[in-house]
Structure 1
Amino acid sequence: MRGVDIETIVRRFALAGGLMATLGIAQYVTRQSLVDRIAIPGLTASYESGTNFRNGLIRVAGTATHPIEFGALLTILLPIALHVALHSHGLGRFRRWFPAATIFVALGLSGSRSAYIGLVVVLVVLLLGWPRRLRMVVGPTSVVVLVLMCLALPPLFRSVRNMFVGAKDDPSIASRTDSYAIAVQFVERWPFFGHGLGTFLPKYRVFDNAYLGLLVSVGIVGTIAFVAIPVTAIWLLLRRRRLWIDERSRDLALSLAAGIAAGSVSLAFFDGFGFPMMMGTMLLTLGISGALLAVRGRSQLPPPDWWPPSGRAEPRHASQDPVELPVPRAHGDQSGVLSDGSRAP
């Protein structure tokens, strides 16, 4: 496996997110699910798809089972899509920027509190790691786009404001906080290894917090083991990024770390293990990270043909410039004499 293979997976991953985001935007515009019109021969729907509303606005879900899942997985895919937009110069401009643009807009229209928090996590991680010139472009641009969306869609702005300003009166927040006391009772009874994985079903209680569910199901030991996976991935990506000096490898490591961080934070706001697309996206991102770390190695520079051709020269690092060493000449050496009899400088 080379960077070409990893980049192919990353591009297709981002494209899938862009197509799903496009469906979400269409759902917002038409105020219809649209998914119920898809009929695959030989298959039957396992549940009736419908539309969710909050404060009079439709909550888009794409092909996900719930708007929260839709927003959470898009926050994981956004930094990956931005990496494709910034570094896949072999693609046309539309193909590069389509996934990132549609995912960003769909996140703004998602009407999901966890999606907005995940978006903030992504932007903070990227802006802290990007070069200053890129920060000065992307940061203000993101703010301008969000302001324009709020001006163009005043009901959306009021809905988002009420999610955070009026959070204490939100029934979904009350449901989450009420779950803490119940979770503590189970943890006190089975503190280390929990009640048993898969034994605490949603019909008993919906915690809307994956980490609370882990504490009840697999205890403190299992929860620490799970949390160690994304934490270790982020730590290794950022540490290895300090060793690499080519911008493409550095940016991909930063983007994967941002996506994993956003997904990990989102799990604190819903039972992510009950949503297959969310966990599939999270695990695939972790798998891409492991492949990058294992194949790219610790060398500062990758092999010349490791990345696909970008059509644009990579910025050179000082350590990449060849160093010319003087060649000592023996006394009377005539190797520096040119054909016309003059001596080379």
Structure 2
Amino acid sequence: MLLQFVIPSRMVISGLGAVGRPAVLVGVLLLLLWFLGFLRPPGLPSHPQPVRWILGAYMAVQYIGYAVGVDRALPEVEANAADRWMILNLAMVGAALAASDGLRTRKDLDRLLKVLVGAAAVMALVGTLQFFGVIDLTRYIRIPGLSLNANLISVGERGSGGGVPRVAGTANHYIEFGVVLALVLPLALHYALTAARGWRRVYPWSAVALIAGSVPFAISRSGTLTLLVAVGILAVVWPWRMRYNALAVAAVSLIAFRAVNPGVLGTIRALFASAEHDPSVQNRLSDIGYVMELWAMRPWWGRGAGTYVTTIGSYTSEPYLLLDNQLFMTLVTGGIAGLVALVLLFAGPYLMARSLRLRGSDQETRHLGQALAAIMPAAFLATATFDSFSFATFVTVVFVAVGAIGALWRLEAMSPARPLQAAAPGDTLVTTPLGAGWAARAFETATALIAARWARAQCRGSGRK
């Protein structure tokens, strides 16, 4: 987490290119260690682990797609892109498997997720300092053995009349900065709401304020939509009183934010109000015909996993357009099989996390399950708005969340056969699931009917005697 969030995304090990990020190499090492654990007796934890099957199916499709690309006699630039794609996916799968099978206790899982929240808060702090023009810390980070594979992204501008600043922190792009912080926010809220009373709550709530307050600094539609979806899905399980309190805090925060930065919210609102005339939106819509044309050539397995290169000119055999949509890129490179595998990567862990929310042993577990579940549909939405798998920090958050869901599933010894859990009298974080309420009422009704029939039978029996 620290290697991925604290080191600027464009700083890599010399000579290894885009996959030379230290976090990627650690991910490959984790995959090797997981495999050795699989071979060494007694092997991996024996409890059923759906995450292994989900990740295994995903990687199987990537390998087949890679072979399809090689069979197409790829030009060098596309072959290199395919190699980078496979290395990145192997690293991320290694991180997910290490988390799902390697974390031994709930304390270990909480420590990992708290480090994720803390690392995101550091990224948010770097972005905040950039936005206000205090200092750009990324310009001063120098690590022996690492070099820049591209110029560091500078503070940009967006909007009319000179625009307002937009920042990327240590991320690789402004959009990635906003989306990643929005994805981590549900976890930050979980640990703030469950923190012990007193001074210990200062740190988690400070992280919430930093992360939530920095998302607008990206000046991004993707980040804003991801934030609304992620927090909205988390709020679904809250009692009404907590929802009202959250709305009140959000309203006050927006008023204060507008007072301090009057141009930011107005610029973001203009992004949505003028979407039908925005060149970036129109370009995405105009790409549909181009994507359908490429997809129709190879509909089932695509052109080869990771082979879509956005460089135009003599470096590629074809003038590929820049597709700011990962679903489009997956459809072109992986075909229907690749798109199904990508959907499964998000949908499977989401259903597992929802099961944890519905059947967890206590309210803290159920709330954490919902916080992890919120990440998956929010990330999938973001995937439809930019080429998300081209950005390592975004991919890291998604795969670590998948691994955390698998770890919580195993530690809870979860099974879909377990009954839905109703909220206890002292629970303040989660409500009783609708299904649990219906099941309880149905059980009470059935019990009452059985008891009434039994009583009538007893009465009739006594009368006959």
The TM-score normalised by the length of structure 1 is 0.84
Matched, 1:130 2:238: yes
Rounded to whole Å, the distance in 1 between the matches of 2:294 and 2:146 is 40
Rounded to whole Å, the distance in 2 between the matches of 1:290 and 1:279 is 17
Rounded to whole Å, the distance in 2 between the matches of 1:88 and 1:202 is 45
Matches within 5 A, 1:108-187: 108-187=216-295
Rounded to whole Å, the distance in 2 between the matches of 1:287 and 1:241 is 16
Match of 1:274 among 385, 390, 414: 390
Deviations 1:197-255 (A, max 9, x none): 12221222211000110000000111011111211111121123211241110110010
Rounded to whole Å, the distance in 1 between the matches of 2:259 and 2:206 is 23
The Cα of 1:109 is off from its aligned counterpart by 2.2
- Aligned partner of 1:30 in structure 2 is 133
The Cα of 1:32 is off from its aligned counterpart by 6.0
Match of 1:58 among 140, 161, 165: 165
Q: Percent identity?
A: 29
- Aligned partner of 1:79 in structure 2 is 186
The question of whether the paired residues in 2 share the 8 Å contact of 1:127 and 1:139 is answered with no
Match of 2:362 among 246, 255, 268: 246
Superposition RMSD on alpha carbons, in Å? 2.3
AA aligned to 2:174 is P
| Bigger shift: residues 278-287 or 31-40 | 31-40
Unaligned runs of 5+ in 1: 302-313, 319-345
- Aligned partner of 2:445 in structure 1 is none
Matches within 5 A, 1:1-345: 1-30=104-133, 33-49=136-152, 50-55=154-159, 56-89=163-196, 92-203=200-311, 204-298=320-414, 315=427
The Cα of 1:59 is off from its aligned counterpart by 1.1
Rounded to whole Å, the distance in 2 between the matches of 1:197 and 1:71 is 27
Q: Secondary structure at the match of 1:44?
A: strand
- Aligned partner of 1:334 in structure 2 is none
The Cα of 1:185 is off from its aligned counterpart by 0.2
AA aligned to 1:57 is V
AA aligned to 1:228 is L
Deviations 1:44-90 (A, max 9, x none): 22221122211211111010110001111111100011111111327
Deviations 1:300-331 (A, max 9, x none): 89xxxxxxxxxxxx74999xxxxxxxxxxxxx
Rounded to whole Å, the distance in 2 between the matches of 1:237 and 1:155 is 38
AA aligned to 2:212 is F
Rounded to whole Å, the distance in 1 between the matches of 2:307 and 2:148 is 27
- Aligned partner of 1:343 in structure 2 is none
AA aligned to 1:178 is S
Rounded to whole Å, the distance in 2 between the matches of 1:195 and 1:244 is 43
The question of whether the paired residues in 2 share the 8 Å contact of 1:31 and 1:58 is answered with no
AA aligned to 1:21 is A
AA aligned to 1:152 is V
Unaligned runs of 5+ in 2: 1-103, 312-319, 420-425, 433-465
- In the alignment of these two chains, the number of paired residues is 307
The structure carrying a bigger helix percent of its residues is: 2
The question of whether the paired residues in 2 share the 8 Å contact of 1:108 and 1:146 is answered with no
Rounded to whole Å, the distance in 1 between the matches of 2:246 and 2:413 is 30
Rounded to whole Å, the distance in 2 between the matches of 1:250 and 1:188 is 44
The Cα of 1:42 is off from its aligned counterpart by 3.6
Rounded to whole Å, the distance in 2 between the matches of 1:14 and 1:151 is 27
Rounded to whole Å, the distance in 1 between the matches of 2:266 and 2:356 is 42
The question of whether the paired residues in 2 share the 8 Å contact of 1:3 and 1:296 is answered with no
The question of whether the paired residues in 2 share the 8 Å contact of 1:20 and 1:63 is answered with yes
The Cα of 1:285 is off from its aligned counterpart by 1.0
AA aligned to 1:220 is I
CA 1:195–1:142 in structure 2 vs 1: closer, same or farther (change >3 Å)?
same
The question of whether the paired residues in 2 share the 8 Å contact of 1:10 and 1:84 is answered with no
The Cα of 1:164 is off from its aligned counterpart by 0.6
AA aligned to 1:19 is V
Q: Secondary structure at the match of 2:146?
A: coil
AA aligned to 1:59 is R
Q: Secondary structure at the match of 2:236?
A: helix
